[in-house]
Amino acid sequence: MDKLKEFQELGLGSRLKRLSEDLMKEINRVYKTFEIDFDPYLFPVFKTIADEKEITTVEITDKLKITQPAITQYINKLKEKNLIITRKDVTDQRKKIIGLSEKGKSIFEKMTPLWKITDITLKKYSSYLNMNFIEQIVVLESALEEHEISKNIISDYKKFLEKEVEIVNYRKEYNKHFKELNIEWLEKYFVVEPHDAKLLENSEETIINKGGHIFFSKIGQEIVGCFCFIKTENDIYELGKMAVTEKYQKRKIGNKMLEFSINFAKSKNWKKIILYSNTKLENAIHLYKKYGFKEVALEKNTPYLRSNIKMELNL
C-alpha cells in the first residue's frame, strides 16, 4: 500500500519531494554506470554557471529562485570538486565572480550529450495529453520503480557513444598521435620498452611497410584512440598498440576498436590474431575473452618484458 497515492492532490507536496529524490537516485545510477563523478543535485547551479560563463551568487539565486544559503552550499560543493573557480569583481571587491574551472569545462562538455538524452527520455513521461497531473506522476513513479528511466538513458547514451566514434585508416598526419597515445598509456601503466620505441619512432616503416596496418579512432576532428596489426607470419597478425586517451576512456571506444579489428581481420581472410598483455589489466583481459580470445602458452622470448599473458583468436 502506498499511502501518499491515496492522498491524491492533498499529498502532492510530499509526493513530489519523494519523486524528486527517486529521480535523483535514478540519474545517479546513470552516472555510476559511466563512472561519471557528478552529483545530480548540483546540476541546476552547475549548468547555470556554464551557460552564463561568469556569474555571481546573487545572480544565480535570482535565476533559479532558490534561497541564497542553499546556493552557497551548492557552490561550496562545486568548489570542493574543483569544478568552479572564483575571483573578485574588479569593479566591486565585495562581489565574487564564479566560472567553470578547466575540469568543470571538461565535465560540462562530456555531460552535455548525456543531458540531452536524459531530457528526451524524461519528455516521454511528461507529454501524455490525455492524462491529468496526478496520472502523469503515477506513470513516472512506475517507471522509476522499475528503473525504466535509467535503463533507457543508459541504452541510448551507449548508442550515442558508439555512433560518435569513427575508425579511420592510417594517414601521415596522424603518425604523431600514434606515438603520443601509446606513450601516454605506457607511462601510466608500465614503461616504454626498446621494442615499443622502435615501433613508435617510425611506425610507417616498422609496421605498414612490413605488411601491417594502423587505425585511429576519431570523435569529430580529434584523434582519441589507435591500434595496429603487426604482421608475424602469413595470415597471422599481432593486434597491438591499442590505446585510448584518458579524456575519452569509459566510453566503450576499446570495444568498438576491438570489434572493428576482428571484422577487418575476417575480411582479409586471416587465420589468426594474437596479442600480448599483462594480467594486471583485468578489464582488457575480460574484454578480449568476451570477444573470443583464448589464453595460449607464452613463449620465453616475448617482444615485450611486461607481457605475462598471450592470447589468440582463430578466425
Q: Grid coordinates 589468440 are at which residue? A: 312
pLDDT digits (tens, 9 = 90+) for 134-145: 888 888 888 888
Q: Is 244 helix (H, G, I), strand (E, B) or coil?
A: strand
User: Do the beta carbons of residue 181 and residue 218 sit within 8 Å?
Assistant: no
Would you state the pLDDT for residue 110? 85
Q: Is 250 helix (H, G, I), strand (E, B) or coil?
A: coil
Rounded CA separation 50/197 (Å)? 42
- Mean per-residue pLDDT for 84-92? 84
Would you state the pLDDT for residue 144? 83
Q: Give the domains, in start order, of the chain with CATH numbers.
A: 3-163 (1.10.10.10), 170-314 (3.40.630.30)
Nearest to 85 by CA among 58, 104, 108, 70: 104
Would you state the pLDDT for residue 7? 61
pLDDT digits (tens, 9 = 90+) for 57-85: 999 999 999 999 999 999 999 999 999 99
pLDDT digits (tens, 9 = 90+) for 119-137: 999 888 877 667 787 888 8
Amino acid identity of 168?
V
User: Could you report how far apart the first and last alpha carbons of the chain are, in Å?
Assistant: 57
CA dihedral 107, 109, 114, 119 (to 10 degrees): 110
- Mean per-residue pLDDT for 42-63? 94
The single-letter DSSP state of residue 54 is S
Would you state the pLDDT for residue 91? 78
Rounded CA separation 25/17 (Å)? 13
pLDDT of residue 9 exceeding 90, the answer is no
- Give how far Cα 104 sits from Cα of 54, 88, 118, 232, Å: 13, 19, 20, 45
User: Do the beta carbons of residue 99 and residue 85 sit within 8 Å?
Assistant: yes
Rounded CA separation 121/118 (Å)? 5
- Give the burial class of 255: count Cβ atoms within 10 A of its Cβ; 0-12 exposed, 13-18 middle, 19 or more buried: middle
Cross-strand pairs, 214: 228
Q: Is 218 helix (H, G, I), strand (E, B) or coil?
A: strand
Q: How is residue 205 written as a grid cell?
A: 616503416
How many residues in the chain?
315
Mean pLDDT of the chain: 90
- Mean per-residue pLDDT for 6-28? 82
Q: Alpha helices, DSSP H only, in the chain? A: 3-6, 12-33, 43-52, 57-64, 68-80, 102-123, 133-145, 148-164, 175-189, 194-201, 203-206, 253-267, 282-290
User: Do the beta carbons of residue 242 and residue 149 sit within 8 Å?
Assistant: no
